[in-house]
A and B are shown apart, each in its own frame.
Chain A
């Protein structure tokens, strides 16, 4: 476990350092790094319904839809990252085609709303931020007190058959409760 600590600790420590030290000057680059780190961590707190659940040895697919604000930082964050024994795979997609295979989709750009609509019926954890054209996915990043935080729409997750760990819900800024 100690051996495992380094790969994930590095981006976290970097993100924390950036968030704390660089926040007053410019939150943008550090926020992107933090978001990238967060995106790699979300799969650990989400359970997919059986058909979408990755099989043994199958990767958990993290898709970036409609744009890539992270660049190489994202690749670095994903590399070597594992979720409950499943490797994490990064896919960059332009549209919703093939997005059905995604487990997590970070939706960006002006077409985010349509993309989200397209994914509405699929068990995909959709993530959005302020650059997603005002659309809100299940998880939506926001900046609070100079730090990257997120809100969770648990009701939407429930509609897609996703179960989000209460631990994750606990650190969310706000949660839209499932009915």
Chain B
């Protein structure tokens, strides 16, 4: 395109020039024809003159001797020349001596008659010894027009051809330029369209971003709404029970019932947050090496009770399965969640089968085991099947389920390095497959639950928490356990107190503004290596990421017994030196 453009730009007047050249060519052709015609006429005139001269020479003697017959013979001899129209010999006095004419009317009556009667005429004086003894007249016709036209038509044709070529050149140049302009216009349109497309793509990307953001917010809204709903239910129970406890004159039997209600509801709330964290894969797991078969065997009683009489629980446990490494409580919760879903799917009763078997190797080459939990229930609609692992997605009626069950299973499996699959046919049943990687370590003996408890000790405890309520609550519990308590609000304050005073242990929150609990523990270990530290947290990125480095953790929400046990342990360890 560019070269054509350059040509078109350099010679913008090519069509005009081509037209001019064509006209010039035609003019030149016409000129050639006219010149040719003039030359032809002149040549004819010369020819006529020559013939006339020849005639004059040949009739000299005849005229001289008055031999009209011979003169007529000579004149008539011209008959063979078709171009000679008429010929005559006039005597010296101008009278006609001998003549010939093809068609009458082309001959002058006398030598003096100067009227032109033929297109080409020639007159020659007849001389004898320098004396004029007469005149010869010769009249010829011109070549017929048709023959002349035929002759010139070749020239005309050539000229027209040349003019045509030039004209076509000019026209094609114009066409080329027009085509170029169109091409340019199209290219411009194309680039405009491209720019438009680009803008639209950007707008679309922005719209998609906005949509994603909106969806995120919607999901967040769903999540928070779901949590709020469940927590409000639980809080209603807790608050109501607490209000009842504050009423005067309450019977001992009622006091215990309300207190139990608070404890149980709080446990459910803790389970709920645990499931949330499991879904977020930020649940602080306490992985142990587990033998899956013995774990499931130990759960059958619990399952029987939980699922009711209408559901038959069957187990088919495979032999020689490798141990796995997982949080046993979470594994238990996962199996229970699947089992509860199965029960809800089997409204008319049915069978729940738990199978264990060796699975295929995982992507990273590790061996795996499968826990397959199947039921004979209603099955799940294909549309719903894709969403069952979404948090708060539930097909159960309001209040019957939290929508967190399968999402806990999903979170647990993912966090344990495995995966979870679900297969379901409407009307036939559902199978959930939990795949977990094998562990290289040996399973710990299952019966270690009852560790010999250490002696209950009391001491001077530094409680560090930025939250006033939680701090006061911890202080209350510790005082109840008989400890002496000093409270600090920040890590640096705690560090200063610990340096200036004697403490038996430090009980610190992990997530605090400024110095975190873990940083504080590191500082304390550096300066006061003998001072034991116990961490507490509801959730910590830091711990989830890199662990605590051997420092014991009490997870919120904690029970009195849990706190007591943790503190007893550290006080025991540093016991003799402490007091």
Contact = CB atoms under 8 A, between A and B. Distances in A.
B129 A44 contact: yes
Interface of B: 57-58, 60-62, 64-67, 70, 74, 91-93, 125, 127-133
A5 B66 contact: no
Interface of A: 1-2, 4-5, 8-9, 12-13, 15-16, 19, 34, 38, 41, 44-45, 82-85, 149, 165, 167-168, 170-171
Contacts of A168: 61
Contacts of B91: 9, 12-13
A115 to B, nearest CB: 25
Given A45-B61, A168-B61, A170-B61, A12 B129 contact: no
Given A1-B130, A2-B132, A149-B67, 7 more contacts: A1-B132, A5-B92, A19-B66, A34-B66, A41-B65, A171-B62, A171-B65
Most B CB contacts (10 A, CB to CB) among A16, A41, A167 go to A167
Identify whether the interface residues of A are mostly helix, strand, loop, or mixed: helix
Contacts of B132: 1-2, 4-5
A5 B61 contact: no
17 contacts: A1-B132, A4-B132, A8-B133, A12-B64, A13-B91, A13-B93, A15-B66, A16-B66, A19-B66, A41-B128, A83-B129, A84-B129, A84-B130, A85-B130, A167-B57, A171-B62, A171-B70
Nearest to A5: B92
Contacts of A45: 61
List 9 tightest A-B contacts by C-beta distance, closest first. Answer: A1-B132, A5-B92, A167-B61, A84-B129, A171-B70, A16-B66, A4-B131, A171-B67, A44-B129
Contacts of B131: 1, 4-5, 8, 82
Given A1-B131, A83-B129, A170-B70, A9 B92 contact: yes
A111 to B, nearest CB: 28
A17 to B, nearest CB: 10
Nearest to B92: A5
Contacts of B65: 38, 41, 171
Contacts of A41: 64-65, 128
A13 B66 CA distance: 8
Nearest to A6: B92
A97 to B, nearest CB: 30
Contact of B93 (A1, A5, A85, A171): A5
A44 B93 CA distance: 20
A13 B95 CA distance: 11
Contacts of A38: 65
A44 to B, nearest CB: 5
